Amino acid sequence: MNGNNHKFENLTNDELENKIRERLGIFQTIVDFVSDVCLKIGKVIKREQGSCNTHIIYEITDFAGFYIYWSTGETQFGGATIKIRSINLSTTVVDFRYLGTNELGLEDIWEVNAFEEKLLRDALLEVIARKDKIIEMINEEKKVKESDVKQDRENRKERKELIDIANKLGL
């Protein structure tokens, strides 16, 4: 008997099935969230073409106080790793891998390394609910920054031209 089985002793099969269904629902919510935000605003930090797969790693260094890592297409059968860490608390909220479906095709195979339910419920689910607004804010900040960089570049170019003219005039 597995050492963790004792925590299930007081649950009926129906209660245990409900807990499993709830956890899988949370996993699916997280997978949908991470894939959506990473495809929209994530930075590709690695892209590798295998013989039967394309392995891509995305990251978002700060999404409303969370670091997000998504490694997808790890094998020819899929496979993905998701890690979300609270930046402020320096705590991993979730860290799990989806390894695909078992040989009989009956169940998905998950490997869970971290699952901080309290942090997930208190903070991450609220961020997930506000993801579209957060993406808008990040995109606006990016536009402002790009505009500032462009303006700075134009100012430096103008300054250089003025200095060149001043030098030609012997000033």
Q: Tell me, what's the pLDDT at 53?
A: 84
Q: In what order do the strands lie in the sheet with 54-63?
A: 43-49, 54-63, 66-75, 78-86, 91-101, 108-115
pTM (two decimals): 0.74
Q: Tell me, what's the pLDDT at 1?
A: 45
SS3 160: helix
| Confidence label for 135 from pLDDT (cuts 50, 70 and 90) | very high
Q: pLDDT tens for residues 31-71?
A: 999 999 999 999 999 999 988 888 999 999 999 999 999 99
Locate the domains of the chain by residue range: 5-129, 130-171
β-strand pairing of 91-101 with 108-115: antiparallel
Distance separating alpha carbons of residues 169 and 88, to the nearest angstrom: 56
